[in-house]
Chain A
């Protein structure tokens, strides 16, 4: 019954590919036999109503589900031809190359500088840490706001600044793919705007997979959109098509706001 969603990736190489991926939490199956290709240097949005499995699917891409007791994964996630769930793959290494930004800003109770420096430090970074911190904060469009308060606690920043700090922290590790789990859902409209602008800039250098329940946001920022419902991938394709000319009736009902 597996539907393979062949999509035209417009010549973009695949950055990540899920093959017949299923996730179980105990008895409950949260993701059902999902196969999809994430094209490199594109923004892919995972959309769907609450509980549809979109966050669970996202967390499969860097093995964050390993941390959930009772979670079981079947199928494959291919990254550079390697199945991330092979027994010889170290999840720590996976997470260094596939970073994650969470729903609520979760900076460490440390200074702004130490937050950005955390990833490089644990990897034993040998270069100029000051440069890397500045570069990461600039890439997250935060440098101008915090350059004179690097030693202050990250909690003195606003929610939107904290979330951009979390993005900077992720970029400092120099991942290839950045996973974002509703990164703007806890933020006000202006802070959300900044995050969205940032995502648009980041795709130059990174592949981005973003979970969102905000339809307008998905339409604004993503190149491709995947609609999930009850753990199944219902439809996947270029965002334009998903929003204006979906093949599936359920997709159309959802994106036009008839349910969800």
Chain B
């Protein structure tokens, strides 16, 4: 009797988070459908101007999507090489004691509040960039991308290291036995064997970069314009949601509904990336036995 009650209580806890997720998706969907009853999907997906708060309203999501893409790309350029090389160092080169200090320190990077990263971008990275490119906007995509990249390094390094360490020692010995150097063993045997896990870590990290909000709100400029120039101000999808949420937007208006349309788009993108990384991970289990 007691056992059953406990079972039910635990089920209720597990069920709650599922219900909450379903509820969020439902609300997102309802408001998104409301939005698309006024704005055509074609305009939303192909329009190059995003001005819902202006007198002349345009609802093209491309500037926001491009902003998010710019941040994600820049962050990946920072985090992928540094994260992967860190993972190789920790898995193949570092002695036990070095790793036991380095790994927690790196994971601390993930624990720094994102608002701190935002101000770090604004007060340190931007002045640094302006020394080389004086025409850089005060608020610019590049500085935000760099800090978001730093933020996601632990995701890349930690998951990649797990994948590298999962490669059987026998494979390393086989390569050493053929007269391979440590670098050759690492780059030609261990990394290729762990490649799917490494790629999955990239995708997860990039999906975090797309979803990152605070640092880009502070540092990237909140100016929705379609540009590929990282020295300009931009706005990401997440930053737009923050901007409108903080304002006094009346419920039920079209501006209010754009929040949900953008949030739903973001949700679909990160969901797709998560599914992609799961799929890549599953394939990777079959590579070696």
Contact = CB atoms under 8 A, between A and B. Distances in A.
B178 A99 contact: yes
Nearest to B170: A106
B192 A95 contact: no
B288 A93 contact: no
B91 to A, nearest CB: 14
A106 B179 contact: no
A92 interface: yes
A170 B176 CA distance: 11
Contact of B287 (A62, A101, A109, A122): A109
B232 to A, nearest CB: 45
Given A92-B181, A109-B288, A67 B176 contact: yes
Contacts of B193: 108-109
B105 to A, nearest CB: 22
> Which of B176, B178, B193, B288 neighbours the largest number of chain A CB atoms within 10 Å of its CB?
B178
Consensus secondary structure, chain B interface: helix
Contact of B177 (A95, A107, A109): A95
B177 A122 contact: no
A45 B2 CA distance: 65
A79 interface: no
A106 B95 CA distance: 25
A95 B185 CA distance: 13
Interface in B122-180: 168, 170-180
Contacts of A243: none
A151 B171 CA distance: 19
Nearest to B181: A92
Contact of A118 (B173, B188, B288, B289): B188
A30 interface: no
A119 interface: yes
A122 B171 contact: no
A169 B178 contact: yes
Contacts of B181: 92, 122
Contacts, number: 71
Nearest to B194: A109
Contacts of A102: 170, 173-174, 177
> For chain A, which range describes its interface: under 10, 10 to 19, 20 to 34, or 35 or more residues?
20 to 34
Interface in B57-96: 95-96
Contacts of A97: 179
Interface string B243-278: 000000000000000000000000000000000000
Nearest to A169: B178
Given A109-B193, A109-B288, A99 B175 contact: no
Contacts of A123: 179
Interface residues of B, number: 23
A196 to B, nearest CB: 21
A95 B176 contact: yes
A55 to B, nearest CB: 12
Given A95-B177, A104-B170, A118-B175, A155 B289 contact: yes
Contacts of A92: 179-181
A44 B288 CA distance: 33
A155 B286 CA distance: 10
B189 interface: yes
Contacts of B188: 118, 122
B177 A62 contact: yes
Contacts of B175: 108, 118
Interface string A68-103: 010000000000000000000000111111011110
A187 interface: no
Contacts of B189: 108
A84 to B, nearest CB: 13
> Which of A64, A95, A122 neighbours the largest number of chain B CB atoms within 10 Å of its CB?
A122
A179 to B, nearest CB: 8
Interface in A103-140: 104, 106-110, 118-119, 122-123
Contacts of A69: 95-96
> Which of A93, A101, A106 neighbours the largest number of chain B CB atoms within 10 Å of its CB?
A106
A119 B174 CA distance: 10
A99 B177 contact: yes
A101 to B, nearest CB: 8
Contacts of B176: 64, 67, 95
Contacts of B172: 67
Contact of A108 (B95, B171, B179): B171
10 contacts: A64-B176, A67-B172, A92-B180, A93-B179, A102-B174, A102-B177, A108-B175, A110-B192, A118-B180, A169-B174
Interface of B: 95-96, 168, 170-181, 184, 188-189, 192-193, 287-289
